[in-house]
Structure 1
Amino acid sequence: MGSDGNYFFVKVIDKRVVHAKEPWTDHWLPFTNLDLLVPPFDVGSFFCYKKPAHGDFPDILKTLKDSLSRALTLYYPLAGEILWNEAVGENQFRCNNRGVDFIEAVADVELKELNLYNPDESIEGKLVPKKLHGVLAIQVTELKCGGIVIGCMFDHRAADGYSANMFISSWADIARFEAPSMVPSFQRSILNPRCPTTYSSSIDDVFALFEPPTKPDHEQNSSGDDHVLINRVYYIEAEQLNKLQLLASENGRRSSKLEAFTSFLWKIVALSMEDSGNHNKMCNVALAVDGRSRLSEGDGEEKEKLMTSHFGNVLSMPSGLKRSQELKEISLSNIATEVHEFLQTATTKDHFLDLIDWVEERRSKPLVAIAFASKEMSVMVSSGTRFHIMDKMDFGWGKVVFGSCHVPYGRQDCYVMTLPSPTNHNDWVVYMHLPMAQMNYIESHAGHMFKPLNSDYLQI
């Protein structure tokens, strides 16, 4: 299968449950306050490899299962379940070594034929598993050419992108018979609230209590499939990123590439709304901010190590809100200034300490990022360019040809992640989960920047 749209078949040859090699005593592990800011949905990732030079598929599967079992000894909540703890009246991790569903499969398609530009066609329901039980599910698929795809699906309440990559890189280290480069910490006390709790009112600009919406999911004038969310993967060349950064810096303040990209995305989504007849509607953009380095500022080397190795969610999601007409009319550099200003509110230690305290007073209630508190158009942007996944996910048969997140079918939140390019360190790969109308507009009006990912670019 490839860009010609031909389908391929995946055959499951075995299903196992892999348990931690040395299980911990059965116990409950509570969510941290920052875990409670994440909705109960799944998030996936997948990694593509060329045919290993040594070892056949059965031997590779044995190595992967054995090393996974050892990795789960360190990452023991991933081998458990998320269940209601009656004693405390909230969901928690039940660390009971229920195990991880492990699917073995073969596919009648070559790596170079995978249409990675369209994950809905090539990945969804084929190379990344559905998580039916527990916290994590894994599928390993051998392709017709001998290449291998490893697909994972996590409960997002257990891990953010940083943590998921920590686990997979540790699993890869163990598969190569090396010590994990990082041992995870599940120490809850480092994210405990202060006593008494205290926080700035600015937290109410970032998160809110979740209330089920009372209005329709989509505008009454939307038609056909335009509102259906689809997945696409593009690459953006370094030259285009540099031009974008210059445009976003024209007002004298140098924007980062992420600020410039977010500004451009915010503007083009607004333009697509105006073009489709949704005139002057509200348009949100949010940015995921990792708090690990912020929370350890000034607290010494030991706290820094604990935060670096903390497994879970340590994210804030500041956002900006403007009408589409205003975004259409103002310059990219002025939008970039807006992005910089709302982003700065969530990049301090005090913000994350306040956020922990804010959640503490609302632990029993569902919470949500303010950008997604209504049914207005909202897009979350997350940066994965710092994860260096191409170098760390070597299971013993070579580096990743391509790796990416994957948003499973049915998720209704708009999500965009920037990723490192496997072929040019200055380029970006961008995974996008947006309504079809917005995606079509982006392709027709910004095709010079967003180029469909293909095997030629990946050099496979």
Structure 2
Amino acid sequence: MEKIEVSIISRDAIKPSAASSSLHPYKLSITDQFTPTMYFPVIFFYPITDPVFNLPQTLTDLKNTVSQALTLYYPLSGRIKNNLYIDDFEAGIPYVEARVNCHMIDFLRLPKIEWLNEFVPIAPYRKETISELLPLLGIQVNIFDSGIAIGVSFSHKINDGETANCFLKSWVAIFRGYRNKIIHPNLSQAALLLPSRDDLPEKYVAMMERLWFGEKKVVTRRFVFDAKAISALQDEGKSEYVPKPSRVQALTGFLWKHQLAASRALSSGTSTRFSFASQAVNLRSKMNMKTTLDNAIGNIFLWAPALLDLNDTAPESSDLKLCDLVNLLNESIKEFNSDYLETLMGKEGYGGMCDLLDFMEEGSSFEPAPEFYSFSSWTRFFDQVDFGWGRPFWVGVSGRVETNNFTTFVETQCDDGIEAWVTLDGKQMAMLEQDPQFLAFASPNPRISIASSVGID
């Protein structure tokens, strides 16, 4: 396929089905405050072969049930004010229906990452500037000749992966009439435990924007690791300190190692002295029972930075041991235990939060400038987004983006593999794609084989 055409059929603003004008403003947390204004995409592809599938009724039901889901998740229908709270819940979300000029099977045989932008209503991972006018959620229903792709744009100012997962599960439950599976969100806990600040220094917001966005031209590539490759990397990454590394730990260490190798190859081995690998840590599972965050929405995560001093390691990146990198990553996560997190909670935790942000600020100002790589695992999300047409055969989580050195992990929809969606500087990516030791484990953008599963030859 040389190109696709996506034509807009309709564009609406969907509001909560119940009146929300009398609701109190929703308070942001401090982690919401310093998260840049941008959108992350999730696109679910559903090939449909049922000859009696009722498309008009399905489109009507999707739209109506989104409105019902927004009644529960009403902050997503509002607008951010002064980077402190959300109000104006009647503003609604953009909801688009579009027609795609090809069969879904043809698109999935060799998907092009940049085309995914066409399937969401708002461009992903781009620095936005007018935050108080922007919606916090957008949905686009894309109609192929042989299926439906539902693209969702989540504003990162209030949504993290867990929040997105809870909303989608609830939308599906309402659509299918499974009322007992609706997740009722906790709309107050995040702001109580991580309260926003009127006097939050602008330097923290600016630092996060610098870490997310840069001046270089970046590209995104999809690499797939099958179960055999992951198991081999887990074996290579284990040590007496980490005897059983997780799948994500092994992949994070492996990607960090080879991203460093690509960078050093471009600079003839004279690149930066320090490298940071920051992992997104979901705080919900780290807190003890007296500060539970079950079903709480918002950015309830922090970045756990692992620091590598390249002067203290092997002279060549290829000589770095995966087990040593996995140990560094594991140690950085272990520091985010419940006792430490308690020191960040409430108004009295503001000093501890500033210490963490200052550490990141100090690291970003090293000379020569260090390299930052960020990793986020969505391997436990989006496994139940089944509207009754079966599980999606593929989930897209990126597109043509502007972020720096960022990787998202998602489960493959079969065979227990993991996809790594990697964004890097274009030249560095070109080196990575030519690294034989990397390609021995990673498959670059393989075709998505769905024919046998849906009965298509």
TM-score by length of structure 2 reads: 0.82
Cα gap change, 1:240 to 1:368, in 2 (>3 Å) = farther
Matched, 1:341 2:331: yes
- Contact 2:307–2:328 at 8 Å: present in 1 too? no
**Structure 2 residue aligned with 1:48:** 45
**Structure 2 residue aligned with 1:308:** 294
Q: Where does 1:91-130 land on structure 2 (aligned, <5 Å)?
A: 91-114=84-107, 119-124=112-117, 126-130=118-122
- Contact 2:113–2:399 at 8 Å: present in 1 too? no
Shift of 1:368: 8.4
Instruction: Identify which of 240, 257, 271 aligns with 2:261.
Output: 271
Cα distance in 2, alignment partners of residues 362 and 242 from structure 1: 38
Cα distance in 1, alignment partners of residues 219 and 358 from structure 2: 23
Cα distance in 2, alignment partners of residues 99 and 408 from structure 1: 26
Larger displacement relative to structure 2 (439-448 or 107-116): 107-116
Matched, 1:376 2:367: no
The runs of 5 or more residues in structure 2 that have no matched partner are 124-132, 196-202
More helix by share: 2
Cα distance in 2, alignment partners of residues 231 and 433 from structure 1: 4
* Aligned residue identity for 1:360: Y
- Contact 2:121–2:153 at 8 Å: present in 1 too? yes
- Contact 2:344–2:351 at 8 Å: present in 1 too? no
- Contact 1:248–1:332 at 8 Å: present in 2 too? yes
Instruction: Identify which of 66, 69, 77 aligns with 1:68.
Output: 66
- Contact 1:423–1:458 at 8 Å: present in 2 too? no
* Aligned residue identity for 2:143: E
Deviation by residue 1:407-440 (Cα, 9 ceiling, x = unmatched) = 6523x3322111111011x211222222222322
**Structure 2 residue aligned with 1:160:** 160
> 3-state SS of the aligned residue for 2:424?
strand
Cα gap change, 1:68 to 1:189, in 2 (>3 Å) = closer
* Aligned residue identity for 2:340: H
Deviation by residue 1:281-307 (Cα, 9 ceiling, x = unmatched) = 132211111111222x243xxx64xx2
> 3-state SS of the aligned residue for 2:434?
helix
Shift of 1:362: 9.6
- Contact 1:273–1:324 at 8 Å: present in 2 too? no
- Contact 2:237–2:323 at 8 Å: present in 1 too? yes
**Structure 1 residue aligned with 2:31:** 34
**Structure 2 residue aligned with 1:431:** 421
Instruction: Identify which of 246, 251, 256 aligns with 1:261.
Output: 251
Cα gap change, 1:52 to 1:349, in 2 (>3 Å) = farther
Cα distance in 1, alignment partners of residues 444 and 8 from structure 2: 29
Cα gap change, 1:209 to 1:80, in 2 (>3 Å) = closer
> 3-state SS of the aligned residue for 2:397?
strand
Deviation by residue 1:152-207 (Cα, 9 ceiling, x = unmatched) = 1111011100110110111111111221431111023774369xxxxxxxxxxxx9
Instruction: Identify which of 340, 343, 367 aligns with 1:351.
Output: 340
- Contact 1:102–1:138 at 8 Å: present in 2 too? yes
Q: Where does 1:99-248 land on structure 2 (aligned, <5 Å)?
A: 99-114=92-107, 119-124=112-117, 126-130=118-122, 133-144=134-145, 146-179=146-179, 180-188=181-189, 191-192=192-193, 210-211=206-207, 227-248=216-237
Shift of 1:116: 8.0
Shift of 1:217: 5.2
Cα gap change, 1:64 to 1:185, in 2 (>3 Å) = same
- Contact 2:36–2:157 at 8 Å: present in 1 too? yes
Deviation by residue 1:2-58 (Cα, 9 ceiling, x = unmatched) = xxxx11111101101111100322431111233234222211111000116243332
Matched, 1:289 2:287: no
Matched, 1:401 2:397: no
Deviation by residue 1:214-265 (Cα, 9 ceiling, x = unmatched) = xx956xxxxxxxx421122221011111111111114563122222211111
> 3-state SS of the aligned residue for 1:264?
helix
Instruction: Identify which of 372, 379, 395 aligns with 1:385.
Output: 379
The runs of 5 or more residues in structure 1 that have no matched partner are 85-89, 195-206, 219-226
Aligned pair count? Answer: 416
* Aligned residue identity for 1:23: A
Shift of 1:78: 0.8
- Contact 1:36–1:363 at 8 Å: present in 2 too? no
TM-score by length of structure 1 reads: 0.82
What is the alpha-carbon root mean square deviation over aligned residues? 3.0
- Contact 2:40–2:155 at 8 Å: present in 1 too? yes
> 3-state SS of the aligned residue for 1:418?
strand
* Aligned residue identity for 1:60: T
> 3-state SS of the aligned residue for 1:317?
strand
* Aligned residue identity for 1:19: K
* Aligned residue identity for 2:238: S
> 3-state SS of the aligned residue for 1:148?
strand
